[in-house]
Structure 1
C-alpha cells in the first residue's frame, strides 16, 4: 500500500515537471526548421528564440537574426554589430553580421549549442542596451553641468568626491559653494542601480553634521516609478527634473 502511494506521488511529480517544462520551453516547426522559445528574455521583454536546421546528420543552430532585430528596436543596430563579435566569441559561437549561430553541431552537442546561441544573442542585446544607457547618461551629465555652470559660474566644481557619515567617498556630478552652505548635485536615471546608488549616497551625506544640501536631478522623471521618486526624495534635500530652468536650479540649491 505504501509502495503504491509512493509510485503515485512519483508519477504525479513527473507529470507536473513535464507540464512545467512545457510551459517554460515552447517548441514548434516553421518552414522545416525547429523553433524553441526559451525561458530567457531580451531587455524589451521578447522571448529568446533559436532555430535548429538539420543538415545531413548535423545541426545548424541560430537566433535567426532576432538579436539584431531587437537592437534595431532599440535604435542601435550599429552598436549591436560592434559588440556582437566579441560576445559571440566569449560564448563559443559565431556572428555573421546578422545572426548568432553555431555551425554543424552533432546531436550530442545540440543542447549546448542551443544554450550558447541563446545566451550570446540575449547578452549582445543587453550589452547594446547598456551602452545606449551609458551614452544617454553621459549626455545628460553634460546637460546638468551646463545648467550648474550657467547658474553658479565659478562657484561650481564638477565630478567631485565628498565623504559621507560612513567615511565613504561618494562621487557627485557637481558641487556648488554658497555663502552659508554647500550643495551637491547628482544625476539619477530610471535604472534601478542609479536609483539605489542615489538613495544610499544622499542618505550618507545628509547624516553629516552641518550637512550639505543633496540635490537629486532626475534625467527622465516620466519613466521613473512614483515610489522610487518618493524614496529618492526622502534621501535627498531636493528632487528636481533635468529639464529645470537656470533660475529654478539656483533656487533648489
Structure 2
C-alpha cells in the first residue's frame, strides 16, 4: 500500500521540484549573480536582485530595476522620494537609481527578500500613481469632449455601476440619449488601466447587456496586442472627430 502511494506521488513531486527551479533562477553576468524571483513588476517582468561580493560580505541590490520601471512611466523623478519611504520598512539603503543592503553569507535569504519586496513596492507605488494621474487627465479630456458633443445635461461623470459579480466599477462618464445609455471609459496604454477596463466591461456587460460600452484611448497603436482585451467595448481615439463619438452613443 505504501509502495503504491510512493509510485503515484513521485511524478507529482518531480513536477513541483521542476516548477520551483523554473520560478527561481540564478544567472552570472560580469562577475555578478542575478537572482530572478517569482514576483512580478507592473510591466510584467520578474523582480531580479543582484548579488556581489564586497569587503564587508555581500551587497544585494535591485540593480536599478525599480528605477527603470519608474522611467518607463515617466515618473523617475519621484523614485528617490518614494523609495526613501518604503526603504524604512526594510532597513535598506536608497541610492540615486537602486536600493541595496549589505549582508553576510548567513543573511543572504533575508537580504534578498527585503530588497526584492522593497523594489517591487517602489515600482508598484510609482507606476500606480502615474497611471492614476494619466488616466485622470485623459478622463478630464473625455468629459470635456462629451459635454461639448452631447450637452451637460446628458452626461454624468464619475458614476459607478454594479457588475454581475456585485462589484462596483467607477466609469469615466455615462451618456444618455433617448433612454439609451453609453458608458465611456478613458483607458491609457498602461497594462493596469487596460486590465481594469477589460474586467469592468465584461462584468458590467454580463448584467447590463443593453448598455453600449466605449473605450476612449489616445492611440490604438500604443496599446498593441492588448487592444483586444478591451472587448466588448468599441474603441475611439482622442484624435477622432466629435461626429464619430456621437455615432458611438447614438
Matches within 5 A, 1:1-253: 17=17, 21=21, 24-28=24-28, 30-31=30-31, 33-56=32-55, 58-103=57-102, 105-161=103-159, 171-178=170-177, 180-187=178-185, 189=187, 191-206=194-209, 213-219=211-217, 220-222=219-221, 223=223, 225=226, 227-230=228-231, 232-233=232-233, 239-243=234-238, 244-253=240-249
Query: In 2, are the aligned partners of 1:159 and 1:171 still within 8 Å (CA)?
Result: no
Shift of residue 187, structure 1, vs aligned partner: 0.6
* Cα gap change, 1:215 to 1:51, in 2 (>3 Å): closer
SS at match of 1:206: coil
Instruction: Return the index of the structure with the highest Cα Rg.
Output: 1
Q: In structure 2, the residue corresponding to 1:67 is in which secondary structure?
A: helix
State the aligned residue count.
233
CA contact (8 A) 1:63 1:99 kept: yes
Q: Which runs of 4+ in 1 moved over 6 A?
A: 165-169
**Which runs of 5 or more structure 2 residues have no equivalent in the other structure?**
188-192
Cα shift at 1:217: 2.3
Q: Distance in 1 between matches of 2:206 and 2:58?
A: 56
Let me know the Cα RMSD of the aligned residues.
Answer: 3.7
Structure-1-length-normalised TM-score: 0.72
Q: Secondary structure at the match of 2:79?
A: helix
**Equivalence for 2:190:** none
1:164-183 C-alpha deviation (Å, 9 max, x unpaired): 697876543223343x3242
Post-superposition offset of 1:127: 2.5
Q: CA deviation at 1:120?
A: 1.6
In structure 2, what is the Cα distance between the partners aligned to 1:161 and 1:41?
32
Cα deviations by residue, 1:31-69 (Å, 9 ceiling, x for unpaired): 4x4443434443445543323344455333212323223
Tell me, in whole angstroms, the C-alpha distance in 2 between the residues paired with 1:44 and 1:168: 25
Question: Conserved in 2, the CA contact under 8 Å of 1:188 and 1:195?
Answer: no
Structure 1 residue 100, shift from structure 2 partner = 0.8
- Distance of 2:161 and 2:18 partners within structure 1: 55
Alpha-carbon distance between aligned partners in 1 of 2:158 and 2:54, rounded to the nearest angstrom: 60
| Residues 61 and 115 in structure 2, CA contact (< 8 A), matched pair in contact too | yes
Counterpart Cα distance in 1 of 2:136 and 2:19 = 47
